[in-house]
Each structure stands twice: as structure tokens, then as C-alpha cells.
């Protein structure tokens, strides 16, 4: 009986700790700017940004359910229509589980300050990105008047894990610049891919990348579309979504040393590409490479195609040559031709666009498909761009692809 009382007492103490914990301070919020000025005007090209009552939001002892509003106006003071992004000029957000969110309504004012209607609102979203709204169009003389709401969500559960956390930031605007794959920073490219803002990145666009000991190489946008066939069960994802491929040859390597049983996933090339080459990619890019379900032909070993989950992968014949139909690649019907090779009309008889160079010279480069009619061979692209097969222990070019997401 004594033991039971002790257990009961412990339970009461724990319950009190959990319930009274909600009255503690959670975090402080500070959205800063010139808090001494009623209106702060920041010129950004032809745009001006006006904070009503200053841009600073400061609060202490914030708890779940807390919210605050802030009015911000963007006026096009120029003579031309333009576009802008609403951003956090600086942001610190330690709040976990996406429990602090932002949203906004927007009124459209004419040149006399009269409300003409509503402009596009900002749906409630977790504060996890530096960009709040992108590519907002605004005509000359027009003002967009936003009322932002920042909310610390109440989950009706224990949220003590967010006690002592910090949130602060500075709201601002920036000129919207049309994306350009060649000149955009990798951080900008990655942000655009994550947000789906890739319409201005065209297949065939290229950008150089420093691969450390392998030197400087060129990445090319090989694919941007995700057609319905990509959703088919068992379909390789290697030509679906935003795919980058190396437009040149990084180095040379063998496909297999001896036994080729197991196809692409069991090859000597597989760990070389997914470890050595992968680790040479700059971290900024590498950390955004997504896992890709890759289907490859079984070749002369067995009767079942191979499925692997890859960071980097070699291409297959069908992903390059639009008319490829050779049953020697048993996975030919489980992938599609990349948008880039479709756009330049690559076929098995019109293949010069598939040429890749190792340095200054055109060179053979490996594909991931094992050949059914030869016991020790894989497909490769020849130095004239044509498709051929060769022994797996040959040393040919390495030119992989990967997906960002």
C-alpha cells in the first residue's frame, strides 16, 4: 500500500509539471527595423516599402495561441509595371514542428490611395524559407497593402519543447529577377527547384561546377517534366522531374572487374559513382540531391530487372535515344527519353548530340544497362554519339545524372 501511494504521488507531481509548464515563457519575437519612425520607406528600384507603425514586432513571454499583425505596403513609384518578392531580410526561427506560421491579406490601392479591390493573399504557411511571396506583379502607380498575421499555433498538446526558443526577423522586398540557370547561384537554383519555380530553366541550360580533384565540369538541365507515365508502378524515376546530367565526362572507370551478375546495382561503377563522384559534388548541391528509384536491365544474369535507390546514376539507352527499342535492354519500357535529348531529336541514327568530351576529345561513356545477348557487356555511347556495347571491364567515361528536389 505504501508503494502505491508513492507511485500515485509521483504521478501527481508529473501532472503538475506538465500542466504548469504551459504558463512559462516560450520565446521572444522581434521583427526589427526603425521602430522610432511611424513610416519607414525603403527604396528598391521603382518600389517603395512602407511599414505602418514601423517594421518592428517585439513580444515577450509568447505562448501557443499568440498572434500579431503588421501592415506593410508596397508601392510601384515608377512608370513601368514590375515584379517583386516579399522576403525575410534576416530570419532566426528556432520554433520546431512548423508551429509558427505567417499569412497575409492584400488590398489593391490606386494612385490616389483608394482601395480598388483585393490583390493576391498569402496563404498560411510555416516560416521556414527566406522568401514569403515570389514574383508578385504590380502595375505602375499601384500600391499593395498587406496585413500580415504571425501566429504561434496551439496544438492542444504539450508544446514545452519550444520553451526558450527564439524567433526574429526583418521583413523586406527585393526585385524579382528572372531565373537564369547559368548565372543564378546554386542556392537560388535550389530554392527555385524546391518551390517549383523552374519554368525559366530550360532543358539544355548549363552551369559549371567545381568537382575538386576531378576539376571543373559542366552540369546540364536534362529534364524538367513529370508526365503521367512517371506515376506508373515500377517505372524508373531517372527521367522524371528536375534532372541534371553532366554534359561532359568527369573521369574514366570500369563497369565490372570480373563477374557482372547483379547488373548496375552490383557493378564496380555503382559505389564509385555514388561515393567517390557524389562526395566530390559541392555540399550545397549534394545536400539537395534526392533519392531516385532507378530501374535497370538484368542483362544476361537472371530474368528480373534491377531496382535501386540512387543519389547518382548512369543513363540508359532509352533515356538518350528516342527510337531505342532493342530488347537487349530488358528495362527499355520502364523509362522515358529525357526532355533534353527529345528536344534535340536524338535517335540511334541521328546521334551526334549525344557526344561527350573527356577534356577536349570526344570519348566513349558508360550507360547503366546490361546487355542480354552478351554475357559480360554493357551499353555505352561511342565517341561519335552512336550506341554500342562493350565488355564491362573496359575503361570508359563516367557521366552520371541526378535529381534535385
In this prediction, residue 60 carries a pLDDT of 66
**What CA–CA distance (Å, rounded) separates 320 from 385?**
10
Report whether 306 contacts 335 (CB < 8 A): no
Strand partners, 391: 377
Report whether 388 contacts 318 (CB < 8 A): no
**What CA–CA distance (Å, rounded) separates 210 from 280?**
8
* Cell numbers linked to 251: 573521369
Report whether 55 contacts 33 (CB < 8 A): yes
**What CA–CA distance (Å, rounded) separates 106 from 177?**
22
pTM for the model stands at: 0.67
Domain boundaries, the chain: 24-175, 186-403
In this prediction, residue 388 carries a pLDDT of 96
In this prediction, residue 306 carries a pLDDT of 95
In this prediction, residue 345 carries a pLDDT of 97
* SS3 call for 391: strand
222: closest CA among 335, 348, 53? Answer: 335
Q: What is the pLDDT along the chain (405 residues), one digit of tens a residue?
A: 333 232 322 222 323 222 222 222 334 334 333 334 444 455 555 777 777 666 666 666 778 898 888 888 888 888 888 888 888 877 888 888 999 999 999 999 999 999 999 999 999 998 877 889 988 999 988 999 999 998 999 999 888 888 888 777 778 888 777 889 999 999 989 988 988 888 889 999 999 999 999 999 999 999 999 999 999 999 999 999 999 999 999 999 999 986 667 789 999 999 999 999 999 999 999 999 999 999 999 887 778 999 999 999 999 999 999 999 999 999 999 999 999 999 999 999 999 999 999 999 999 999 999 999 887 899 999 999 999 999 999 999 999 999 998
* Cell numbers linked to 86: 516579399
236: closest CA among 311, 286, 294, 323? Answer: 294
Count other C-beta atoms under 10 Å from residue 287's C-beta: 9
Amino acid at each position: 500500500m505504501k508503494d502505491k501511494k508513492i507511485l500515485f504521488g509521483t504521478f501527481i507531481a508529473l501532472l503538475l509539471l506538465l500542466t504548469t509548464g504551459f504558463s512559462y515563457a516560450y520565446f521572444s519575437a522581434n521583427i526589427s527595423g526603425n521602430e522610432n519612425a511611424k513610416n519607414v520607406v525603403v527604396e528598391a528600384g521603382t518600389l517603395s516599402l512602407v511599414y505602418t507603425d514601423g517594421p518592428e514586432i517585439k513580444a515577450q513571454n509568447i505562448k501557443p495561441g499568440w498572434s500579431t499583425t503588421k501592415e506593410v505596403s508596397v508601392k510601384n513609384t515608377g512608370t513601368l509595371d514590375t515584379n517583386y518578392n516579399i522576403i525575410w531580410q534576416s530570419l532566426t526561427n528556432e520554433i520546431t514542428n512548423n508551429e509558427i506560421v505567417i499569412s497575409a491579406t492584400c488590398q489593391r490601392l490606386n494612385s490616389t490611395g483608394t482601395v480598388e479591390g483585393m490583390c493576391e493573399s498569402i496563404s498560411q504557411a510555416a516560416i521556414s524559407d527566406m522568401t514569403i511571396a515570389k514574383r508578385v506583379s504590380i502595375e505602375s502607380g499601384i500600391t499593395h497593402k498587406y496585413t500580415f498575421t504571425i501566429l504561434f499555433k496551439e496544438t492542444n498538446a504539450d508544446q514545452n519543447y519550444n520553451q526558450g526558443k527564439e524567433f526574429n526577423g526583418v521583413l523586406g522586398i527585393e526585385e524579382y529577377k528572372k531565373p537564369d540557370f547559368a548565372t543564378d547561384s546554386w542556392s537560388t537554383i535550389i530554392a527555385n527547384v524546391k518551390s517549383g519555380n523552374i519554368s525559366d530553366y530550360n532543358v539544355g541550360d548549363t552551369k559549371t561546377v567545381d568537382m575538386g580533384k576531378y576539376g571543373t565540369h559542366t552540369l546540364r538541365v536534362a529534364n524538367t517534366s513529370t508526365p503521367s507515365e512517371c506515376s506508373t508502378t515500377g517505372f524508373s524515376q531517372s527521367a522524371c522531374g528536375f534532372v541534371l546530367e553532366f554534359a561532359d565526362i568527369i573521369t574514366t572507370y570500369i563497369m565490372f572487374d570480373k563477374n557482372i551478375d547483379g547488373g548496375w546495382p552490383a557493378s564496380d561503377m555503382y559505389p564509385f559513382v555514388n561515393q567517390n563522384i557524389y562526395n566530390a559534388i559541392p555540399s550545397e548541391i549534394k545536400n539537395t540531391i534526392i533519392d531516385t528509384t532507378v530501374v535497370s536491365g538484368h542483362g544476361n544474369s537472371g530474368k528480373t530487372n534491377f531496382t535501386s535507390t540512387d543519389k547518382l546514376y548512369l543513363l540508359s539507352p532509352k533515356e538518350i535515344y528516342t527510337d531505342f527499342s532493342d530488347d537487349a535492354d530488358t528495362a527499355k519500357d520502364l523509362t522515358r527519353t529525357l526532355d533534353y535529348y527529345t528536344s534535340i531529336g536524338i535517335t540511334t541514327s541521328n546521334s551526334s548530340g549525344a557526344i561527350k568530351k573527356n577534356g577536349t576529345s570526344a570519348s566513349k561513356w558508360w550507360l547503366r544497362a546490361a546487355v542480354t545477348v552478351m554475357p559480360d557487356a554493357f551499353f555505352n555511347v561511342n565517341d561519335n554519339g552512336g550506341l554500342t556495347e562493350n565488355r564491362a571491364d573496359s575503361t570508359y567515361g563516367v557521366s552520371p545524372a541526378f535529381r534535385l528536389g
